[in-house]
Amino acid sequence: MLPTEHYIQVPEVNLRYVRMGQAGPNPLLFLLHGVTDNADYWGWLGRELAQRYEVVALDQRGHGKSGAPEHGYQLQHYVNDAAQVLQAVTTRPAIVLGHSFGGWVGNRLAAQYPALVTKLILEDPPFRTDMPPNPGPAEQDKQRWDWFVWQRECERMSHAQKIAHCHHIHPTWSDEDCELWAMSKVQVRTRIYQANGIEWDWRWAEFAAQVQCPTLLIHGEKALGSIVDDAQAAAVAELMPHCRPAKIANTGHAAHRENREAMLQAILAFLTPSA
């Protein structure tokens, strides 16, 4: 079944999501992308999972074709968006897969809305222990603006330049991956990095400790760009009551683009009934 595009109005924002696969006995699989990415970003992995599951991939607010309201970019807004979309598209608990920032959202979603999540998959979430407590609004605004300098540089590039830049910084990615990466950088709204924009929330641990569903923590190698390393994965597994770490060799921050087969097998092994 070809992907279909849908929209749903939640408080403050109109959200777009893509639906793939067919409903069946398996739970729906809900995909949450990373910051500056979008629902189409999942590419081959979304299509592959749709062979076995009904898949819904969300454009989170300020990304893709979803709206970008003037206010409402705290992590809790993203969690509430995800919860409302899930409640609209399925009547059963779903499997949630979040990459990077999407892992932050998925972690808190599973903690705060446990009835909506049957299993959780986190692909290299920003679960860092070396960050200070969340700073005040002015300092957050500065940190956010400084961090997004690379996105503002992308905005000045042509489409061909974006693709060439993607291949330069991610030499192992496929042509399709770099095309999707380039398109997502066009669609992300500048609102997310302006004053009171998207929130960096380093309080992930307090929510991780509350997650009761089975969780798969996927990470790569720190030397290749993975945020989570072996020591951090072990610390997360000790904190989360039902967490299983899975290291994907020869990958950094985006295992699903750098070692496709190993990523897919790790997910399917986790989702089998015996897992």
Most distant CA pair in the chain, distance: 50
Our CA angle for 168, 170, 173, nearest 5°, is 120
Q: How many domains does the chain have?
A: 1
Decide if 69 is inside a domain: yes
Q: Six-digit token pair at 259?
A: 């070692």
Q: In the predicted model, what is the mean pLDDT of residues 24-46? A: 95
pLDDT for 236 beyond 90: yes
Decide if 173 is inside a domain: no
- CA dihedral sign of residues 221, 226, 231, 233: negative
**Mean pLDDT rounded to a whole number for the chain:** 94
Decide if 180 is inside a domain: no
63 touches 31 (CB < 8 A): no
Using CA atoms, how far apart are residues 80 and 11, in angstroms rounded to an integer?
Answer: 10
Q: What's the pLDDT score for residue 275?
A: 43
Structural domain including 223 reads 4-140+201-271
Output the domain CATH number for residue 122. 3.40.50.1820
Residues with Cβ within 8 Å of residue 17, at least 6 apart in sequence? 5, 6, 7, 8, 39, 56, 57, 58, 59, 85, 89
Report percent pLDDT > 90 for the chain: 89
**pLDDT tens sequence across 123-154:** 999 998 776 667 788 999 999 999 999 999 99
Using CA atoms, how far apart are residues 171 and 156, in angstroms rounded to an integer?
Answer: 22
More confident position, 23 or 153:
153
**pLDDT tens sequence across 87-118:** 999 999 999 999 999 999 999 999 999 999 99
**One-letter amino acid identity for 199?**
E
Using CA atoms, how far apart are residues 86 and 117, in angstroms rounded to an integer?
Answer: 9
Decide if 98 is inside a domain: yes
Q: What's the pLDDT score for residue 1?
A: 67
